[in-house]
Chain A
Amino acid sequence: MTDFVEVDVRPTLRAGGEPFGEIMAAVNALTPGQCLRLYATFKPTPLLHVLGSKGFAHDAKELDGGDWEVVFTPADLRETTTAPTGATDDEQWPSPVRSLDNRDLDPPEPMVRILAAVETMQPGEVLSALLCREPVFLFPMLAKRGHVWRGAFEPDGITYKVLVRAGRQEGP
């Protein structure tokens, strides 16, 4: 029997508050075998990506009245494991040393500029880039070159923000 921890952030949202910290506290407090059931006033698309990068699968459904129920299932409870959508480490990343706004560039120019910029960075440095869609062809290339990334749609649901941390070199 799966054990659910329920978090209802609808009161926080309706009061104009920011529920992210509340949700992440609940996620970090999950014990092995527990799932998180979240209630929100809208479909929390950015959160789906954030928790996706931590290995959670999600099942979102709209409730009567326009609210949403999302069940997050950790990787250890899934029958088949899927690859994470980027970095899985919880460590704090440094502030970006470079920021790119690639939203008005023709594809594949956004990808080219990110790869070119990362090549000039020191290992461990972080690049931030804004895009108008999830860069699905970029991710395998970053992985192949030893870089890691974290990406998610911004709350506007249109802008995709990706952080790329240049790969660390071999050694201590």
Chain B
Amino acid sequence: MVGATLSRWSMSYFAVALACLLAGEALMVVGFGFPSAELRAPDSLVLVHLIAIGWLSLLMFGALFQFVPVLVAKPIYSNTLPLPTLALLVVGLTILVGGFLQLGGRIPALHSCFSPAAVLLGCGFALALWNLGRTLWQARPLPLAARFVTVGLLCAAATATLGFVFALVLDGSASGPPLADIATYGIPVHAIAGLSGWLTFTAIGVSYRLLAMFMLAPESETPRSRAVLYYGTAALAVAIVGGTVAIGMGGHPTAFLLVAGLLGTCALSLYGADILHLYRARKRRKIELNARMAAIALANLAGVAVLSVVLVAASQFEDQIGAIVFLAAFGWLTGLGLAKLYKIVAFLTWLECFGPVLGTTATPRVQDLVVEPRAAKWFWIYFAGVWSATACLLLDAPEVFRASAVLMLGGTTGIAVEVARTRLLLDVRPELRIPHLARRPALLASQ
């Protein structure tokens, strides 16, 4: 088959991802983990991995299984592998969370969970990367957006490998200077590889294509967009490769992280200029909710960069790293993820239900599957919660933070309900449903 078809299991990825996001926000509401506990406390690590793997990584994999074929105009290598991959990732994450609960003394530690979690998550990431990597490999030479994704996937491999080492050291399966040193000093490298490399760099690549597509903006590859790729890749290579080598040789990665920070700031500035150009040069003047909310998420990314520079200048960066990571994870990545999920689910559902009869009879438009004013309200509640919670972290007000987390949880619940209603065609006017022709989609799988 030529071109792109529906990714069979992406909806399952999205559903599990949303469940993890809601669970993580509920934990913040009840005061479990950061900021009530230290950022590196076991409870906080439960929260961090629930969001980083359960929500953001599953969302990203679900989206990539669908959109890498669109980026490269080639079919996915395997439309079957994503299901066992999902099972490995979900079971691995559950056991990893168990390991952190053991570490915090919340559940008994009869057998350490870390090694089995490392093996399962390692296999899950390897399968996902193999499937996407084979798809990209057969499409060389790659267009720009796909090259961003390729670098992002390499960073996912680095993140997972470092996590694998940490897990083996934590339960005593591995010891000795290089591995133990990496487990002790490599956490910033692990976090940068995951948050900046895997999640942010991949999101940047996909955003070039999706924003241009949905706003009718020019999509050509420019020297500036190539510079974003080169500076960003250099920054990630310095941070991840340089940082890991420095630790392995008994040193400290700080110098490498500083250089990477400078290169990364250059890349983000150029990306910001590209995005402003995309929004200004768009042919479509009235843009949809997903593009408006993506703009808020992009503004939050700019906020992360500005806040980082200000805190470095004020010598407060290390003290406030939690606030920066929070704004990056929830203001930028989660904001963009929710905005694009809202559109992607509507588009894929429309294609699945009405694609077979397109052109032969009147069908609803994609926008007939959603009610934007209702969803907009939930997005604003969510973002208000994120901004308020970030301010609480900067001002060290953990109790007000929990109230802000209530707003985030409420907003996310509202968006999740809207997405489920879209998937079940509940908002399509009855006269447009053409039940004799179109099939009702399954909630969690596509045909």
Q: Which residues does A use to contact B, with CB under 8 Å?
A: 59-60, 80, 82-86, 104, 106-108, 111-112, 114-119, 132-141, 143-144, 157-158
> Do residues B355 and A134 form an inter-chain contact, with CB atoms below 8 A?
no
A141 to B216 Cα, complex, angstroms: 23
Contacts of A133 in B (CB 8 A): 213, 219
- Is B347 engaged at the interface, CB distance under 8 Å to the other chain? yes
Given contacts A82-B138, A116-B359, A158-B220, contact A143 B1 (CB under 8 A): yes
B358 touches A106 (CB 8 A): no
Q: Which B residues are CB-close (under 8 A) to A139?
A: 2-3
Interface residue B230 (Cβ < 8 Å from any Cβ of A): no
Chain B facing A: main interface SS: loop
Whether B360 sits at the interface, judged by CB under 8 Å, is: yes
B241 at the interface (CB under 8 A from A): no
**Chain B: CB-nearest residue to A86:** B2
Nearest-neighbor residue (CB-CB) of B4 within chain A: A136
Q: How far is the CA of A135 from the CA of B73 in the complex (A)?
A: 9
B207 at the binding interface (Cβ < 8 Å) = no
The list of the 5 closest CB pairs from A to B, nearest first, reads A115-B359, A139-B3, A116-B359, A136-B4, A136-B3
Q: How many residues of B contact A (CB 8 A)?
A: 30
Our pick among B216, B219, B220 for the contact of A104 (Cβ within 8 Å) is B216
Name the one of A80, A134, A141 contacting B73, with C-beta atoms under 8 angstroms. Answer: A134
C-alpha gap A134/B213 in the complex (Å): 11
B26 interface residue per 8 A CB criterion:
no
**B278 within 8 A of partner (CB):** no
Tell me the minimal C-beta distance from B396 to chain A in angstroms. 46
B208-223 near A? 1/0 per residue, CB < 8 Å: 0000011010111000
Residue in B3, B69, B70, B358 whose Cβ sees the most chain A Cβ within 10 Å = B3
The residue from A59, A107, A118, A141 contacting B355, defined by CB atoms under 8 A apart: A141
B73 surroundings in chain A (CB, below 8 A): 85, 134, 136
| B246 surroundings in chain A (CB, below 8 A) | none
B5 at the interface (CB under 8 A from A): yes
Contact yes or no, A140 B220, CB < 8 A: no
Kindly state the separation between the CA atoms of A108 and B355 in the bound complex, as whole angstroms. 10
Within 8 A of A (CB), among B279-313: 283-284
Contact status B220-A157, CB under 8 Å: yes
Q: Are B4 and A137 in contact (CB under 8 A)?
A: yes
Q: How far is the CB of B209 from chain A (nearest CB, A)?
A: 9
Residues of chain A contacted by B4 (CB below 8 angstroms): 136-137, 140
Supply 17 A–B pairs (Cβ within 8 Å), ascending by A: A60-B141, A82-B74, A83-B2, A104-B216, A108-B347, A108-B351, A112-B358, A112-B359, A119-B360, A136-B4, A136-B69, A137-B355, A139-B2, A140-B1, A140-B4, A143-B1, A158-B218
The answer on a CB contact under 8 Å between B3 and A132 is no
Closest to A82 in B: B138
User: Cβ of B359: which chain A residues have Cβ within 8 Å of it?
Assistant: 112, 114-119
Contact B216–A132 (Cβ < 8 Å): yes
Cβ of B226 to closest chain A Cβ, rounded Å: 13
Contact assessment for B360 and A107 in the assembled complex, using a CB-CB cutoff below 8 Å = no
In the complex, the answer to whether B1 meets A108 with C-beta atoms within 8 Å is no
Q: A116-B358, A116-B359 are in contact. Are A137 and B3 (CB under 8 A)?
A: yes
A134→B366 CA distance, assembly (Å): 20
Taking the closest CB of chain B, its distance from the CB of A139, in whole angstroms, is: 3
Given contacts A119-B359, A132-B219, A141-B358, 14 further A-B contacts (CB under 8 A): A59-B140, A85-B73, A86-B2, A104-B216, A104-B283, A112-B359, A112-B363, A116-B359, A136-B69, A137-B3, A139-B2, A143-B1, A157-B220, A158-B220
Q: How far is the CB of B221 from chain A (nearest CB, A)?
A: 9
Task: Determine if A143 and B2 form an interchain contact, defined as CB atoms under 8 angstroms apart.
Answer: yes
Name the contact of B351 in the complex, choosing from A60, A137, A143 (C-beta under 8 A): A137
A106 and B138 in contact, given A111-B358, A116-B358, A137-B351 (Cβ under 8 angstroms): no
User: Cβ of B366 and Cβ of A108 under 8 Å apart?
Assistant: yes
A71 to B73, CA, bound (A): 20
User: Which of the listed residues B140, B284, B355 has the most CB atoms from chain A within 10 Å of its own CB?
Assistant: B355
B214-A115 in contact (CB<8A): no
Q: Is the CB of B70 within 8 A of A136?
A: yes
Complex contacts, B358 vs chain A, CB 8 Å = 111-112, 115-116, 141
Contact A138 B351 (CB under 8 A): no
- A112: chain B residues at CB < 8 Å are 358-359, 363
In the complex, what residues of A have CB within 8 A of residue B283's CB? 104
**C-alpha gap A93/B89 in the complex (Å):** 50
Residue of A nearest to B347 (CB): A108
How distant is the Cα of A112 from the Cα of B363 in the complex, in angstroms? 10
